[in-house]
């Protein structure tokens, strides 16, 4: 009997440590409104099959906000691929005219309509307003900007945040701009008096 109790205790301890070790092999992700297994896998840089495999108790047809899913430990974040996809999408619109309120590809964009268009490429729906977009994501210091961040200007035609652009790296922004040529274009950010004087800040929506 004593031997049986010892063996049972050892087995229980073994199972406990096995479970802890198994759990430790996974990162975790909290689902957002509108998420599906496919969008989560795509944005997190993992295969759909592996996501399904490591979440055996989750119904793929019942993903709701706040649901916690397992992700492979140390999985590659897909922010750079998302940024590249947005930039590639935006580059197809170079030269499209700036029109206030515009949000039509190949026809007309305003600044927030253009960033809204690019973020749709990665499944994110942004409000059609630069000031409202400035409330999304997290603050990014100017010296930590990376491609895919949103850059905001203030006081360009009204007080407060009044313009938004997509940072694409190397001190460049992709925007539907009004300074100079009124069109979708690439502009230099810092070191340009206009942008230096109106720079408001930046926000990061993809991680």
- Whether 111 is a known active-site residue: answer yes
Give the DSSP letter of residue 139.
E
Distance CA 60, CA 40 (A): 11
Please tell me which residue in 93, 111, 116, 133 is annotated as part of the active site. Answer: 111
Please tell me which residue in 44, 82, 133, 175 is annotated as part of the active site. Answer: 175
Distance CA 93, CA 82 (A): 18
Cα 71 versus chain centre, distance: 17
Is residue 206 within 8 Å of residue 82, measured between CB atoms? yes
Q: For the purposes of burial, counting CB atoms within 10 Å of the CB of 49, is it exposed (0-12), middle (13-18) or buried (19 or more)?
A: exposed
Inter-CA distances, 116 with 2, 95, 110, 164, Å: 69, 17, 10, 10
Give the DSSP letter of residue 107.
T
Please tell me which residue in 44, 82, 93, 163 is annotated as part of the active site. Answer: 163
Quote the tokens at residue 154: 């203030």
- Whether 75 is a known active-site residue: answer no
Pairing relationship of beta strands 161-169 and 108-109 according to DSSP bridges = unpaired
Indicate which residues carry an active-site annotation.
Answer: 111, 163, 175
């Amino acid at each position: 009997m004593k031997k049986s109790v010892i063996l049972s205790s050892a087995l229980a301890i073994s199972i406990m440590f096995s479970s802890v070790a198994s759990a430790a092999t996974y990162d975790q992700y909290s689902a957002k409104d509108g998420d599906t297994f496919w969008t989560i896998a795509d944005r997190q840089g993992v295969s759909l099959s592996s996501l399904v495999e490591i979440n055996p108790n989750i119904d793929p047809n019942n993903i709701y906000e706040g649901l916690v899913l397992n992700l492979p430990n140390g999985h590659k974040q897909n922010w750079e691929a998302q940024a590249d996809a947005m930039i590639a999408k935006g580059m197809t619109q170079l030269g499209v005219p700036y029109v206030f309120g515009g949000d039509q590809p190949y026809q007309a964009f305003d600044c927030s309509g253009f960033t809204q268009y690019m973020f749709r490429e990665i499944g994110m729906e942004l409000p059609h307003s630069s000031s409202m977009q400035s409330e999304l994501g997290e603050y990014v210091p100017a010296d930590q900007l990376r491609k895919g961040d949103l850059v905001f200007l203030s006081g360009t035609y009204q007080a407060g945040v009044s313009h938004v652009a997509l940072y694409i790296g190397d001190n460049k922004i992709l925007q539907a701009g009004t300074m100079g040529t009124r069109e979708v274009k690439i502009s230099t950010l810092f070191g340009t008096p206009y942008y230096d004087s109106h720079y408001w800040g930046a926000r990061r929506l993809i991680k």
